[in-house]
Structure 1
């Protein structure tokens, strides 16, 4: 039986901790086939982002069309969407699928990564058609709830919150891992969530499974000393010896 297909629409991370690298590794760990659409190439490492070169909207559209027409993904996961045109494109072409939007507009450091036009495109076009959005606290505050969609507000304080319009918040508790090696955590969480939804999990089950996966990966990388800055969350997995 074929595995579900999930496509990530996101930027690259030359340090391998976040973006498409994190998404594809997480998809593989969850038994889905990962496809990718590159929205921007970034030069970054554990100390920060040095440069960003967005793909043209036409190139993003060409990649996305190739994946949608040939592989017919069950779910779509977004990361860094570098231009308002790309945000609108994803909203137009992916609204009929499971759509997990990780609105990469504010970094863990608090730095704003998207201009006002991109933020407005999220509010007006993409968030209203998302199955679920996974902003961190700063992103949630910046984007607001005008879109009225389902949101999982993520964070490292020991619980995530599923916020569904017209319903009480549902807490998703998880252990806190004390580590500075957490670069890529948001990408990893949203990718795991998309993979579990593609397998047919309900949103609460998928959210709990994604949180548990992130905790396990943070424990793996907790004491790593990779890089000179905020180190990567682990995307390694136990090696299984081949049977002779």
Structure 2
């Protein structure tokens, strides 16, 4: 068996932000084959729900029976489930399974997603192995108005004891403050995970994604607490890279980790291509300064958050005594070189650049860049204030941005005491970097 199987019982979100179709994507991202039994079709987008068409209980029964007849289902996530009749079908067919319940009582726009909450409590909650309410939902299920951490703990225990649920996880994302916590109540007591609150509006689907990710991780490792922690990490990155689409509350980005891994693979391939160009160009030694060179290459700027998203050569780009240039493989991410720091500073200014190299200062090289069409600026390093280690590159970019309002591709200085004169050259992509340097070398 290549993939284990997980099921989702949920409605469909036509805006693809939450619901069953998002559950299937989360399962896929985490290595689970997802199957789906649909409870309702919602008419919605990022601005809210316009209408709901509920699936008849008999048709829901046929869906579930057909799936469990064929697949070895190892975990089930229950999301939107609307009527008492649907509740009973789910309980009759799925009670023995490992079930994670996301009690979606209301949508973000206030639309009621469970028609009869009292029947839901009686029929669905007792079959849950894990339930994942947010603070608002936990208040509704426990009857306790949650205003502080103590209220959360009391509510968590009350829900667990009232409905005999082994694990109750109350999500703290609806609270306030710089940091937030999720709380898990079990027979072993209460565990909590802290994380930095992300100031972003695109959070549609967080609850659904968390419950599905927890189900997926449990299927793989059969450990609820570890699945809780892994699901929390998955949701955090999905929120950080939320999709700014639509006119309302956009969905989280459940594909971000796979996307970033793919982008990093492309960066490594392009760095290898650049290394071949460098080592096979007989004039490249002319560009290498005394302190040697390095190339920084980032993934797409909109996905860059820190130096871990920028690659350099671990061993730098070195000019030997015989003018042979050697590239110091391997390609590594997160190496705090000057080139990586400057590229990060440029990207944080909103510039669409992904490559940057430090080059030997020479008037002929500066003029060569001008001949092939690149704007440039000279920086006086004597003006640099005293600051901590690693701040020089940021200071250069901040100074240029503040003084000139833009950041030219060629940034050079004539050095200072203890500082070699240097040219820094950035481009939007690797193809431009190679083409530009090739054209430059033809002029030297």
TM-score over 0.5 (shorter chain): yes
Give the Cα–Cα distance (whole angstroms) in 1 for the partners of residues 7 and 249 of structure 2. Answer: 27
Which residue number in structure 2 is paired with residue 133 of structure 1?
A: 131
Which residue number in structure 2 is paired with residue 228 of structure 1?
A: 247
Give the Cα–Cα distance (whole angstroms) in 1 for the partners of residues 107 and 101 of structure 2. Answer: 15
8 Å contact kept, 2:202–2:239: yes
Q: What do the CA deviations read for 1:126-167 (whole angstroms, capped 9, x no partner)?
A: 111211011111111212223131211113141111122x55
Given the alignment, which residue of 206, 212, 218 partners 1:185?
Answer: 206
Please give the residue correspondences for 1:7-26 in structure 2 after superposition, counting only pairs within 5 Å.
7-26=7-26
Displacement of 1:109 in angstroms is 4.6
8 Å contact kept, 1:24–1:35: yes
8 Å contact kept, 1:74–1:198: yes
Q: What do the CA deviations read for 1:62-113 (whole angstroms, capped 9, x no partner)?
A: 0000111101211111110011111122122112111001111123455543
8 Å contact kept, 2:81–2:113: no
Displacement of 1:48 in angstroms is 0.4
Displacement of 1:125 in angstroms is 1.6
Aligned residues: 238
Given the alignment, which residue of 148, 155, 175 partners 2:164?
Answer: 148
Aligned: 1:50 with 2:72: no
Displacement of 1:178 in angstroms is 1.3
Give the Cα–Cα distance (whole angstroms) in 2 for the partners of residues 183 and 90 of structure 1. Answer: 26
Which residue number in structure 1 is paired with residue 353 of structure 2?
A: none
Which residue number in structure 1 is paired with residue 218 of structure 2?
A: 197
8 Å contact kept, 1:172–1:207: no
Give the Cα–Cα distance (whole angstroms) in 1 for the partners of residues 106 and 41 of structure 2. Answer: 18
Superposed CA RMSD in Å reads 1.8
| SS of residue paired to 1:11 | strand
TM-score, length-normalised on structure 1? 0.91
Which residue number in structure 1 is paired with residue 119 of structure 2?
A: 121
The runs of 5 or more residues in structure 1 that have no matched partner are none
Higher mean alpha-carbon deviation, 22-31 vs 153-162, is at 153-162
Aligned: 1:159 with 2:159: no
8 Å contact kept, 1:98–1:197: no
Q: What do the CA deviations read for 1:5-64 (whole angstroms, capped 9, x no partner)?
A: 001000000000000121011000110000000000000000000000000000100000
Give the Cα–Cα distance (whole angstroms) in 2 for the partners of residues 131 and 174 of structure 1. Answer: 25
Give the Cα–Cα distance (whole angstroms) in 1 for the partners of residues 192 and 254 of structure 2. Answer: 26
Which residue number in structure 2 is paired with residue 211 of structure 1?
A: 232
Q: What do the CA deviations read for 1:150-209 (whole angstroms, capped 9, x no partner)?
A: 211113141111122x55321122232111000001010000000011112411110110
Displacement of 1:225 in angstroms is 2.8
Give the Cα–Cα distance (whole angstroms) in 1 for the partners of residues 69 and 251 of structure 2. Answer: 34
| SS of residue paired to 1:135 | coil
8 Å contact kept, 2:49–2:109: no
TM-score, length-normalised on structure 2? 0.51
| SS of residue paired to 1:8 | strand
Higher mean alpha-carbon deviation, 230-239 vs 35-44, is at 230-239
8 Å contact kept, 2:6–2:34: yes
| SS of residue paired to 1:179 | coil
